[in-house]
Amino acid sequence: MKVAIIIERADVALGGAERSVSELAEAIGAIGYETHILAAKGVVTAQNVHILCADAGGKRTSYRVFARALKKHTEQTHYDILHSVLPFDFADIYQPRSGTFAESIIRKAATYRCPVLNTLKRSTAFLNFRRAVWFGAERRLSEGQTGPLVIAISNYVAEQFSTHYHIPENRMVVIPNGIKPAGQIEKSRVDSVRNNLLAQLGQKGADGAVLFLFVGHDFQRKGLDCLVEAIGKLQKTDNHTLARLVVAGRASSTRYRRLAAKLGVEEKIVFLGAVNNVQELIAATDVAVLPTFDDPCSRFILEALAAGKPVITTKFNGAIDLFVDNRHGKAIDDPRDITALSEAIGYFTNRDNLNRAANAIISDNLRQNVSVARVAQQLKAIYDDILAKRGRR
């Protein structure tokens, strides 16, 4: 069977969706399917990666140009399944990696605490022509009883399709996201990274600091300001708190450094900037924390669970489907609930609570549960069902 996965850009260096698609293609290939990636732009890293709009100008490609290129390619090359992460109605499956376009607009606006700015961001969202085109395509695709099967990567995403587009239940299934778990990292390397972090924080190894790791490139959407405020609130409650925050991501940290200084916690936070050693950072720290305003199913949280680390995130992160609240981590209702976030951080500064959650992650085999290999097996059943129905027709 030949499966084509459609994505706008094929370049794992871009992160998130691009890396997920690459890992998914590999996992589907591992169960015996011939898998190809069809992209408008990107980097050809293997024979199964096909760039269809390389000659088109600009870094991005319009909906219409890419659709035309896809139709031409698939007329010339047969695929049994067209599995798209973009809203093309001629695909067999639509599996968005970033939730719905409608929800992303609402949740982006929610990151602005000022009601006036919140309203303004919502009302001007469709002045972005490109976003409006993709939103329209997604809405049309979701209407009626016919069209691609929508695969939601979390219950959070499924709720978005039901709420915003009223998609019929028989046209949607939920297959929780998965990642390729990292291999074992040498203990000496992990110790070296941790000692370096402690040194940057002015800590000694014996001081008992508990390191909370935040990884993300969109600091505003991922709730970093809420997290810094929570660290500040925790210090007010406990001036001798063991909590220390490590922040990794390529966004500007100036605003957040100022906030930390204002709250008197600048010495408790280290900003690393863009990093290439996320897996080493996860292994060298104690808890993954992501108070996000909108995340269909965060790779970072899944990677932390795969590494046996407790997590703190919000109900706006589809990754909560893959761990149990108050057993493997904490899921707070709203990133703006600074008290709840502060209490969750404080809970894991207790080593007994930390170790109990870490042991539960291992005993409950969350590493296998969050694996993309599990996703591939679930997709196999979907592919087989699509082909069986096509054959009956």
Quote the pLDDT of residue 2: 95
Which residue, among 308, 246, 254, 256, has the nearest Cα to 277 in the 3D structure? 246
pLDDT 10s digits, 151-204: 999 999 999 999 999 999 999 999 999 999 988 899 999 999 999 999 999 876
Quote the pLDDT of residue 209: 93
Residue 363 has pLDDT above 90, yes or no: yes
pLDDT band, residue 121 (cuts 50/70/90): low
Distance CA 313, CA 266 (A): 22
Judge if 2-179+371-392 and 187-369 fold alike in CATH terms.
yes
Most confident of 41-50, 110-119, 218-227: 218-227
Assign domain 2-179+371-392 to its CATH architecture: 3-Layer(aba) Sandwich (3.40)
Distance CA 252, CA 166 (A): 38
Assign domain 187-369 to its CATH architecture: 3-Layer(aba) Sandwich (3.40)
Question: Which carries the bigger pLDDT value, residue 185 or residue 207?
Answer: 185
Residue 393 has pLDDT above 50, yes or no: no
CA dihedral over 140, 142, 144, 148, signed as positive or negative: positive
Residue 144 region by backbone torsions, left for phi larger than 0, else alpha for psi between -120 and 50, else beta: left
Residue 115 has pLDDT above 90, yes or no: no
Q: What percent of the chain has pLDDT over 70?
A: 92
Distance CA 304, CA 320 (A): 13
Domain map (residue ranges) of the chain:
2-179+371-392, 187-369
- HSE of 35 in the Cβ direction (CA atoms, 13 Å)? 21
